[in-house]
Chain A
């Protein structure tokens, strides 16, 4: 139904994370996307100089489920336990535009032609906005994987990028969904237990406290920001006012008519600016907060895995002591303990690196987004100012 391919917009779209395509050896982007009813088909385009790939440049169509599959496989890989795994992109949510479309269809008879056309235009704009957002989020996911030294070598990732035909990813059936749900519950219970485990390392202790606190606050901020940008429906009202003014003007036959028409025009233009204001705020601030809520969760997951490894290590110690007491299976217990220690050390080391880089990444992203949002808001407000000044002059002189 709709497709996008504007180069200039791509730069603007990559807002939540720093430019991840610095390394020319593996460049990924999503230049195109098609929307059919419920499903969105992304075209994933790769340019690479790595020898592990068959061709230097290629494109494949992928669906949202394929992204989820990729994410899940990476999460389940033991080796990557020490890394912050980029959060999975959220499902494309066309609920808002769909509702509007519904309302439009229902109210068609009661609206005038101009109102209908205007609402349709609005609907299309909203649709486009949701569309752009979802493409951006999927793209960022892939780019984070490609810029990470370990993930880019992942076999599944390569398959995802390369494999010509449909991945025919089996959607999780009911049992697996339930299993996944159950696992999550166990995990949260575990988290609570583990947060009580005494932490040896100062760094991780600090991180844990910070992340726990921060995740709560950012979740809250995201929710409030979403509420605010959702309620920024002033543009809608300006639309209605403009329509009503036009109707009143149409009926009028005096000099008054011109004033009303001019006023209606002003509201119409203001509507467009308000719309942009609201959507830019949404894109920059709300999206930023949303993304980092997910990212913080991923960081917390890392900490969880490490804490789990620590608990395992301590358990293995206890088991070793018990074995030594009993005098049997000592070698096994020793082996176990060594492995646990290894695992724990590896996790700690990579975890430290990841978390430090995460901190830097987060600060940079916030900075970029806040600056961009501020600049856009200033631009829009200045537009409004000049628009209003011009109209006031015209109306006064009449």
Chain B
């Protein structure tokens, strides 16, 4: 946190000295960006791209990226959401499971989801599909968008509120345990495009699905790293405010990328590419595992669309990037000064739990990391020993012993390979899992912070309302009727704002709760899966070791 504060301060300083003009200049290679686009070269104090875990929060902070969506689109989204909510409520309130109502609802859902699609045909096709099979999939999609809003704005009867909330949550949980996920994503085929400092790696993202909201059953596109970051930005802008836990993308790494760009064909750069590819795959898999994120049109576009516009806002030192950093700094300061009146103890204790767990996982990760390094070292030493034993065998005059020694060298060779494979497993199964979860826990923490921010906004609105009321009272007392109307208008405005924010806060609270529960279930499942997988890899290695030595034994016995 301190690091980010410092950075924030530096950039504030920078801002004061020179205005930032995020203009596009001719492309120049620069090691501070992934893509090699132009950034201001007079910034010499900057991140070297190697972000610590804390700085990763860069991508989850409040961003001004609402502006990426046009005002109209945003309104349209809200409007559609509202319509759907009212239909849903209508359905519940009247206990009417009538077909035409269902049909209407499905059509609305399809419209909402596919309003980004330009082709009318696809719209008709999807509508047809929904009409003909109202399977659990369709139901799933209904639950999806409404999950992001437990409350509605149009319910006159407050008695209905609790039932909607509980029903939605139950349904959601039921949905997740029952439904098998019919969407498989793989990230493969890293290819280097271009040369020199402008080069980048392009990855093939293949999707295989039976979900009807996609155009095809299997399809693939090529994406580059900045596209993934851009996706994260977009999702984060829309969903983090609602209190969702957004999976963080893999970290930027200037050192790793530079090596790849420069064209060093050694094992470390190959390892880096593999590490990144696996991380991107896990990232996407986590995104689509989240029910409301899957419904997001940006996600679908990312998976389906052939050509994505370049996401230039993801560079560390672009204009928006700097603004982000400043926001982060101010957030950090805010965090320290906000003291929330927690009515629900659950949140406080949960946050504490999350923070503790993050610490513990970090330590565990460090231990696994050192295991990986030691195994690699052992691997190297075994290789060296093998050569030495082979030489000894060649000098040995007793022929049987000589043969045995060269066989021993072979055993050492196989052991070296085993060690290397095991180190590989150690890393990709265990270490990366732990690193991912440390970052995910950071995202969970951000989620809680979002809720706090919403609460803070509510508090501010309430105090403003209070002030307006006091102003009105004063005016009444001072008997100035012209200004009174203005004051009354103000009060009305702020009253509605306060009630809006109250609802927002309720909604966010509800979402955060749900998200945390879902996250914990997923985490337990993930860990269990990976631990078993890791132990199986260890088992495999030990099996091979037994075979190695058993093959050597007769040779050793044959010495005479």
Contacts of B361 in A (CB 8 A): 248
**Which one of B209-217, B317-325, B372-380, B487-495 is at the interface?**
B372-380
Q: A245-B364, A381-B546 are in contact. Are A266 and B556 (CB under 8 A)?
A: no
Assess the B385–A224 pair: CB atoms within 8 A.
yes
| Whole-angstrom CA separation of A39 from B535 in the bound complex | 44
Q: Which of A247, A251, A254 contacts B520 (CB 8 A)?
A: A254
| Whole-angstrom CA separation of A240 from B368 in the bound complex | 8
- Where the two chains meet, the residues of A that have a C-beta atom closer than 8 Å to any C-beta of B are 210, 213-214, 217-218, 220-221, 223-225, 227-228, 231-234, 236-238, 240-241, 243-245, 247-248, 251-252, 254-256, 259-260, 263, 266, 270, 359, 363, 366-367, 370-371, 374-375, 377-378, 381-382, 384-385, 388-389, 391-392, 395-396, 398
Which residues of B241-275 are within 8 A (CB) of A? none
B interface, over-half SS: helix
| Whole-angstrom CA separation of A381 from B542 in the bound complex | 6
Assess the B543–A221 pair: CB atoms within 8 A.
no
State the Cβ distance, B400 to closest chain A Cβ, in Å. 8
Q: Which of B371, B520, B527, B543 contacts A234 (CB 8 A)?
A: B371
Contacts of B401 in A (CB 8 A): 363, 366-367
Which residues of B341-374 are within 8 A (CB) of A? 353, 356-357, 360-361, 363-364, 367-368, 370-371, 374
Assess the A224–B381 pair: CB atoms within 8 A.
yes
Q: How large is the interface on B (under 10, 10 to 19, 20 to 34, 35 or more residues)?
A: 35 or more
Q: Which of A221, A231, A260, A366 contacts B381 (CB 8 A)?
A: A231
| Whole-angstrom CA separation of A253 from B77 in the bound complex | 40
Q: Which of B363, B396, B408, B524 contacts A255 (CB 8 A)?
A: B524
Q: A381-B545, A391-B535 are in contact. Are A221 and B556 (CB under 8 A)?
A: no
Q: A256-B524, A266-B535, A374-B556 are in contact. Are A251 and B357 (CB under 8 A)?
A: yes
**Quick check: is B539 within 8 A (CB to CB) of the other chain?**
yes
Q: Which of B396, B520, B536, B542 has the most CB of A within 10 A?
A: B542
| Whole-angstrom CA separation of A392 from B543 in the bound complex | 15
- A to B CB contacts below 8 Å, 12 in the list: A213-B395, A217-B391, A221-B388, A221-B389, A224-B387, A234-B374, A259-B528, A363-B401, A367-B560, A370-B404, A374-B549, A377-B545
Map CB proximity to A onto B508-533 as digits: 1 under 8 Å, 0 otherwise: 00000000000010011001100110
Q: Which of A231, A236, A252 has the most CB of B within 10 A?
A: A231
Assess the B371–A389 pair: CB atoms within 8 A.
no
Q: Which of B527, B531, B543, B553 has the most CB of A within 10 A?
A: B531
Contacts of B378 in A (CB 8 A): 228, 231-232, 234
Map CB proximity to A onto B288-314 as digits: 1 under 8 Å, 0 otherwise: 000000000000000000000000000
State the Cβ distance, B252 to closest chain A Cβ, in Å. 28
Assess the A374–B392 pair: CB atoms within 8 A.
no
Q: Which of A210, A371, A384 contacts B557 (CB 8 A)?
A: A371
Contacts of A243 in B (CB 8 A): 367
Residue on B with the closest CB to A377? B549
